[in-house]
């Protein structure tokens, strides 16, 4: 019977295959109209895994922040990002993979096995890697990465909201909520908006 929620089966299988440093990788922020794609890579330390790890989207903001604080203290982790201009130049999937590669490269310890959320691996990863569809709900290290990445991106969007008030990024993190859509019609896009997104163009030109 499959364990409910994230578990360590994928990590244990990698250890059994000879891996010693296993990093989970996840990204957040593919869907928003503004802000970067953010990825995290996390190597969990045995015996220091917080209880309650899960898909970051299913956790309350307070619980995410609490878990992220514990992970930042007890795990080996790093962040990577791809800016809106890179998303526009590459497309959001390739930019997400770029953010993942940057997160892995920034780890202070070199992993020898990667567990990557999704169904397609980024190119030029430095070691063996495995895709896990729905990995943030299935593998502990990917769940940890999703939490760290989500909390980091939400904090960045709150900081950007202070410089660009009116779009509600501190509440919607750049997603196309009604508040965000109204602000786009009233004030237009900022340098942090993803101008290649058809949904953004549709909002801006819907009155025409």
| pLDDT tens-digit readout, 73-118 | 999 999 999 999 999 999 999 999 999 999 999 999 999 999 999 9
Q: Are the C-beta atoms of 100 and 25 separated by less than 8 Å? A: yes
DSSP 137: G
CATH fold of the domain at 9-204? Nucleotidyltransferase; domain 5 (3.30.420)
Residues 6+ apart with CB under 8 A from 134: 117
Q: Which residues of the chain have pLDDT under 70?
A: 1-4, 206-208
Number of helices followed by number of strands (H, E) in the chain:
8, 5
At residue 2, the pLDDT reads 47
- pTM beyond cutoff 0.75: yes
- Bridge partners (DSSP) of residue 79 are 40
């Amino acid at each position: 019977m499959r364990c409910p929620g994230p578990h360590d089966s994928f990590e244990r299988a990698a250890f059994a295959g000879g891996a010693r440093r296993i990093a989970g990788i996840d990204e957040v922020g593919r869907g928003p109209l503004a802000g970067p794609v953010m990825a995290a890579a996390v190597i969990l330390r045995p015996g220091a895994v917080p209880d309650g790890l899960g898909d970051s989207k299913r956790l309350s903001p307070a619980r995410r922040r609490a878990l992220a604080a514990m992970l930042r203290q007890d795990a080996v982790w790093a962040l990577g990002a791809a800016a809106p201009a890179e998303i526009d130049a590459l497309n959001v999937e390739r930019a997400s993979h770029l953010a993942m590669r940057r997160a892995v490269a920034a780890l202070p310890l070199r992993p020898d096995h990667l567990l990557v959320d999704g169904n397609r691996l980024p190119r030029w990863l430095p070691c063996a890697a495995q895709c896990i569809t729905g990995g943030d709900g299935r593998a502990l290290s990917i769940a940890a990465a999703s939490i760290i990445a989500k909390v980091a991106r939400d904090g960045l969007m709150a900081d950007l909201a202070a410089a660009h008030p009116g779009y509600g990024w501190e509440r919607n993190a750049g997603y196309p909520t009604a508040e965000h859509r109204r602000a786009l019609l009233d004030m237009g896009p900022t340098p942090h908006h993803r101008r290649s997104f058809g949904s953004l163009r549709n909002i801006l030109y819907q009155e025409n």
